Amino acid sequence: MKISDSGVSVAVVGATGAVGVEMLAVLEQRTFPVRELKLLASGRSAGKTMKFAGRDVTLEALDERSLAGVELALFSAGSGISKQFAPAAAKRGTVVVDNSSAFRMDPGVALVVPEINPQAIPGNAGKGAGGGCIIANPNCSAIIMALPLTPLHKTWGIERVVVSTYQAASGAGAQAMEELRSQTLDVLEGRPAKPKVFHEPYAFNLFSHNAAVNALSGMNGEEEKMIAETRKIWGDDEVKIAPTCVRVPVMRAHAQSINVTLASPATLDQVREAIASAAGVKLLDDRAGNLFPTPLKASGQDDVLVGRLREDLSQTPARFTHGSPTLGFEMFIAGDQLRKGAALNAVQIAELVFAGRF
């Protein structure tokens, strides 16, 4: 559908999913220059309409011809769909920003967080017929963790990160969010919670992340992604990362408890200043008021909220004085998985690629 006389032809693949809906909202909120818009989904959604910029846009079924002539395709329909349709689209000249895990660890595909490694975007991306490519959107938990840790990694180096995640239903899509709603109602009205999307009851419960567990390492897939993808984003294969990923009964926005060991010492004030000045991060660290990041506060926000900043006294010398340089620090963070963890990051990549067209 034609939206404007100028701009970029855009397709959203998986437009009806939680991330697809958020992609449309972010495109509109950030006034991305959309000339034409295609909304692509499964055959059962074809013919329905969704709103964009005050217009009704008809959903189309995705097939091999859908992306012909499309300059930018935002994919959020799962790894299988991405593997099936993204490579051919890129060969025809489309810039594909893929939100699935299909290409993240492909050495020929850039894995990008715009505030951290924009230089990874191919130089010819979006520039004519030869500018087609695939750019991968990292895992949501990796993005949310990497943003506040990147200024520490750049300034002092990071030896080790121990992180526990508290991941919301939004990370598993619209059906998971609905399961949390419906189970909560069931439990409050005295009925048993019946799992369908997840393997455990979700309402008033928490459980190890539902990604498959590696029988050899004992890590689940989400934990493996946090390690491998963070290393790729930073270009640092030596950094040690020990994650534990947990699904919690929160509708939207992930939280994380992080313990970090620096490679060289810093003071708490220096760490605080480095994080506060970083792009995509906002400090919410009110000790007197006991006000810190929460998923509710992070929901709908573009920035990752950071608080509970403190020295890790278990990594300090016996006669340590608060405020002296040390290696260990702790923090609690929260970020909106649907926005910075997915849709916003993808649109920010597109903004960089097509900056010359604005």
What is the set of active-site residues? Answer: 140, 254
Going across the sheet that includes 34-41, the strands are 49-52, 55-61, 34-41, 8-13, 72-75, 95-98, 133-136, 110-111
Burial class for 156, CB neighbours closer than 10 Å (0-12, 13-18, 19+): buried
Sign of CA dihedral 207, 280, 326, 154: positive
What's the token pair of residue 260? 């970090």
- 7 touches 37 (CB < 8 A): no
Cα separation, 277 vs 283, whole angstroms: 9
Instruction: Decide: 262 and 217 in contact? Cβ < 8 Å.
Output: no
Sign of the dihedral through C-alpha 202, 205, 209, 211: negative
Q: Where are the alpha helices (DSSP H) in the chain?
A: 18-29, 79-91, 140-155, 174-188, 221-234, 268-276, 295-298, 344-353
Beta bridge partners of 351: none
- Closest by CA position to 278, among listed 118, 121, 116: 116
- E strands in the chain: 8-13, 34-41, 49-52, 55-61, 72-75, 95-98, 110-111, 133-136, 158-167, 207-208, 240-247, 254-266, 281-283, 304-311, 326-335
